[in-house]
Structure 1
Amino acid sequence: MIYFDNSATTKPYKEVLDTFLKVNEDYFANPSSIHALGGRVETLVGKARKQVASLLNTKETEVFFTSGGTESNNLAIKGTALQYRNRGRHIITSAVEHPSIIETCEQLRELGFDITYLPVDSNGRVSVQDVLNAITDETILVSIMHVNNEVGTVQPIEQIGKALKSYPKIIFHVDHIQGIGKVPLDFQQAGIDLCSISGHKIHGLKGTGMLYIKEGLEISPLLSGGEQERKIRSGTENTGGIVSFAKALRLHFEKSSKELGNMRKLNAYFRDKLRNIEGITVHSPEEGTAPHIVNFSVHEIRGEIFVHALEGFEIYVSTTSACSSKKNVPSRTLLGMGLSEDLLDTSVRVSFSFENTMEEVDQLCKAILQVKKNLEETTRRRR
């Protein structure tokens, strides 16, 4: 089996699974309990928070554990909107964000907020000037993803953050879920106020993640009822999830320091192979793109059909993002990039992990050629 759907989810590291099991066996007490067992668990959570803060070059007080990327994005956007609605009701984001951003903004629109969706260019990239042009006296939040989850485009986060320094009352949120450990991002240097990270994209467990909240910034909680996460995220802590998330983040950065160059080579090698196959168009930009994502179309063959055909070779890829792949609608990202209608439903996304090899890419390319040939012959016979 060859797995190339790592942007949808990654296989948990064995060490992460072992950590989760051990913590739930030996540190099962409620960290809010006042007895010694509770104190041990509270200390363990504190150590995990300290480790995450050190890895991200942030303060411990800026790390808030959540159930994953969707919750982190919702907390960042709704929490800001509720906290600062008397200051203004205008939010700026892009037209190619993850559904957890778009649908959150649409929910806020129903509550009276004004949402501006910025267009992207043919590479799927937002213009810094468009961000500035969209700002009004009512703007309270700008939310832009770091790495596009469908085509891998890296957005100009540092430039946007620098430009927003002239607007100190506007909060800057970044969805860093696809970029973490693959495209460097310094939260302080980029002027980021809120940043979302998900555990299951970095070989951690589903249901784990965090939101970075810059020290001094206040946002309204979505879950109320307790003192947990300094009242930002009430509810008994998922201790095993928190500690395993810290372990996954550490291992992911260790792997990145050793294997990121190899991932870039895999990306370039795969692109070169695709260029030599007639009837394939690569949509991921040549420059300013993440090393783990390659999006392409096989002309006149629906992406869904191609994905299922590759399963016959025990190779697993995807079409759009996992959160959108079951919806029978065109990719918001590819639409925004201006792709022609005949390519919109033919796209396929390959996403690497640090574990993938050149040999696996070769097997994928052979399978692509065979599937393409088989499907084209089937189409000709039907005609």
Structure 2
Amino acid sequence: MNFTKLDEIELLAAFDAHVHLRDGPMSQLVTPTIRNGGVNQVYVMPNLVPPITTIQQCLEYRDRLKAVEPNVDYLMSLYLHESITPEVIRDAKKAGVMGVKSYPAGVTTNSSSGVVDYEAFYPVFAEMEKQDMILNLHGEVPSTPPHAHSSTTKDSTAITILNAEPAFIPTFKTLHSKFPKLRIILEHCSTSAALAAVQSCGPQVAGTITAHHLSLIIDDWAGDPFCFCKPVAKTPEDRDALLRAVVNGNERFFLGTDSAPHDSKKKRGEDKIAAGVFSQPYAIGYVLDALEKGVERGVIKEQEVTKVVLEGFLGAWGRKFYGVEDSKGERIVLRRGAEEVVNVLRKKEVDVEVVPFRRGEKTWSVTWK
């Protein structure tokens, strides 16, 4: 397959292993765009306000999503919180909940109820290991408070958004060593260090890679709030390592877009910029564009971008790790440059609007067979 010369390609429908669909008006706006991006199965993040910490909340949330878009398979998760106990884990498994998402307290959107001490949850992780449930890790350490920064202290290096992910790796490795049979996903890997950490662990550990991290570097989000996310995009070397992991990761890495919609007012014009890149309606096109540019730059080779790799990264490898199937076996046809990213996603009956990643640019169109 001569990927960069193709004008059209047919693939299996994708599985997006990391999505934020919000609730209320925002969910009404973004949930219908899942299939637009070539995806028919998603793993849904639980960081609503309040967070999804009970099985009843989780199932009711799934019902609301299904009411908005019934032609998508929603895999659900709980938010790791002090109210989560081993008994809750056992009941969640019986109810069909797939996993538990861990957010370090205060590190990103709606994470104020997150984890301060991982050891406190060891009994929960042990039960998750027994129940074969997945632990999804937001792999960052909260930034050091500004007043604590000092070039003269003998303490360890201050944590900023640029080194927050590498600083989390010791915690990640400790969890894997304590619970070697626990299935763990290091979410939205953004550095070569994170990729290496995943590969150093056993087969029970995997990592997700977003569509936007395959394209962005520091300079992009530093000048554009719609490219600002957590974890932030890093160096060109890190971006290129992610591209190589897509084609050479041996099934250890798969797509999790971390598509995170915010009302456009939250991305500009306020005191703080909300962290999140919205990529849902064009998810697969963004990945194909990034891979093409990677070939052009010589980061990856033309022959490495095969149909097996594309269908693996975009769906098969994630489904295998989660132990799920695409029961419909749907297929999509993508056409190069046939879609223009809208400048703003909006609906008449919804009072929020979202600016997508790469607004106004061309990408691949998606047609369902």
Give the TM-score normalised by the residue count of structure 1: 0.29
- Per residue, is there more helix in 1 or in 2? 1
Larger Rg: 1
TM-score scaled to structure 2, two decimals? 0.30
